[in-house]
Structure 1
Amino acid sequence: MVDSFVISLSSIVFVVVGLITLNKGRTERAESTRMEETETTAIRDLEPGPVEVKGTAHGTDDATLRQSPIDGTEALAVHVEVKELHSDGNGPGNWQTIFEDQTAEPMFIDDGTGEVLVNLPEDGGLNLEQSEWKVEAGDEPPEEIRTYVENEPALDLPDGVDIGPLSTGERRRYLEGTLEPGEEVYLLGTARETEAGWDNRDYVIDEPTSDGDFVLSDKSEAALIEEGRSSGLVLLAAGALMIVIGLASLLSPFLPI
């Protein structure tokens, strides 16, 4: 009875996780489609509502550049992510995000026809080219990673144990993306009108679209679309597989042998 309950519970968990993964894949592919279908707007022609703009990023007059916490790059925006390999022993495992932080200064995007102020929403929206540092189980982290972890209260250095020729412990990937002044950027979000003096209007882009899209990236639009489609397809396949496995395990006791 206990064994049957444990199997049923595990099967339900598989189905639920599969549904979540499936929905994430659908969301990523849908966002890629919206990127492709949204026309790029010249900044001088902005109107309130969802917009896609492309141009050069630069700081505001009172902007203070941020120093990225790992490699010390001075940037307008920084995205740091730490992933750890989790495995149940039955496969290669999967990389799970254990920490993520996105920060950005207010900035302007200039496309040659005008410029628009951009503020990153509270829930982020950065998609930046990333540098990566891999730390294998039992390896000594490089100095910049050790310094970063020691200064980040939410993280600890992983424990590692050497057993003869083998090393055990957590495997981690540290990823850092930066957006520097002068870089070409892509932006999808919602423009809203602001007062800018007597009878003048300015715009700021600081909110997601009604579909929940806010993307600020130093990647090209084509690269972002392909990235979303590929990642979404992988998630759809993984989610479907988990659902099939979960349902098969759940229903197996009731199927005739």
Structure 2
Amino acid sequence: MSALPIAVGVALLLVAAFAGVYGRRQHRRSALVRNTETTDVWDVREEGRVELKGTVRADEPFDSPIRGDPAVLSAWEVEEWDERGDSEMWETRAEGVYATPFALDDGTGRVTVDVGDHVDDVSSGTGVHEIQVGPIDVDRLAGVGVSADDVLAVLDDFAVGVSVPPDADPPERVADFVRGEAGLAEQRDSITNVLDFGTAHGERRYYEGVLAPDDDVYVLGHARATEGATHPLKPEDVVVTPRESFIVSDMPESELADAFGTYRYAYVGAALAAVVGLGALAVGLGVV
């Protein structure tokens, strides 16, 4: 029995499991986007899953928490550079979606979309968000959008809004955001930076993308009748909300579906990692 092949085999099987789960999730989203027909707002007559495309209308947007842009929806993610133990990598501390109700106008009518606020605290999770090979942040390259609860926001302008070194005071807006978000811990101080070169332990990156008034918008969600509504429904009787899978994006439907198409590569990667991992285990256990 050899410990090294066994360790390699177990690691590859874990990678295969992650890739398989990721591929399955993206495959399901791709199928939803491709197979759900777009409905005109005027034709939403009953409750249920609905795909809509139109323009964002809102009289009272809010200031997005990181960049301060006028927004009806902010998708954000916070990463922190961690050098504890034997690894050096960007770790996701929290991600979420903040949104205020807005109207989707497709020319046939307007319907209210109420996404709500959703935060995923991944800091105490299993680390499935963190796949890094050397300097390559694999989950950053392969991921599509910000996901929290059943809500996925895919925004074209999603990028680093602010970087904050350790032991530095963040901009006031970012400091207010961190204090107000219960799912996000305070930034760590440096522990090794006297000898650090390059990225310092504890450095943070605050990503954000926003959906703003007059932006094009794609929504796949659940049409729900408002209290007191009569059937068949009219646009003013409907609110589109999250239920099971909810997708909101400022990208064209075709580009969104293509983005989810990475599931094919995930399946291939999972199969290869599983085969090699099983082979390594067999060698380590002396089976072959």
Aligned AA (2:153): L
188 and 198 in structure 1: CA distance in 2 versus 1, 3 angstrom threshold? closer
SS of the equivalent of 1:163 reads: coil
Please point out which of 206, 214, 217 is paired with 1:174. 206
Greater share of residues in strand: 1
User: Which position in structure 2 is the counterpart of 1:249?
Assistant: 280
Structure 1 residue 132 corresponds to structure 2 residue 127: no
Which position in structure 2 is the counterpart of 1:56?
55
> Could you tell me which of 21, 25, 42 is aligned with 1:44?
42
Distance in 1 (alpha carbons) for counterparts of 2:214 and 2:198? 47
Q: Is the counterpart of residue 110 in structure 1 residue 105 in structure 2?
A: yes
CA deviation map 1:99-148 (0-9, x unaligned):
11211112211111111121116523322231314749879687478646
Corresponding residue for residue 183 of structure 1: 215
Kindly provide the amino acid, as one letter, of the partner of residue 219 in structure 1.
M
2:13 aligned partner: 15
How far apart, CA to CA, are the structure 2 residues paired with 1:136 and 1:197? 49
Offset from partner CA, 1:138-160 (integer Å, 9 cap, x none): 79687478646764562333526
Does the 8 Å CA contact 1:21/1:235 hold for their aligned counterparts?
A: yes
Distance 1:241 1:95 in 2: 26
Q: Retained in 2: the 8 A contact 1:59–1:105?
A: no
The answer to whether 1:207 aligns with 2:245 is no
Identity %: 29
Does residue 70 (structure 1) correspond to residue 66 (structure 2)? The answer is yes
Give the structure 1 partner of residue 24 of structure 2: 26
Partners of 1:15 and 1:176 lie apart in 2 by: 33
Match of 2:254 in 1: 222
The total of aligned residue pairs comes to 245
Shift of 1:17: 4.5
Alignment correspondent of 2:195:
163
TM-score of the superposed pair, with normalisation by structure 2:
0.69
Q: Distance in 2 between matches of 1:179 and 1:164?
A: 38
| CA distance in 1 between partners of 2:50 and 2:281 (Å) | 46
1:207-252 Cα shifts (integer Å, max 9, x gaps): 33xxx4210111211221111113x244334433443343233221
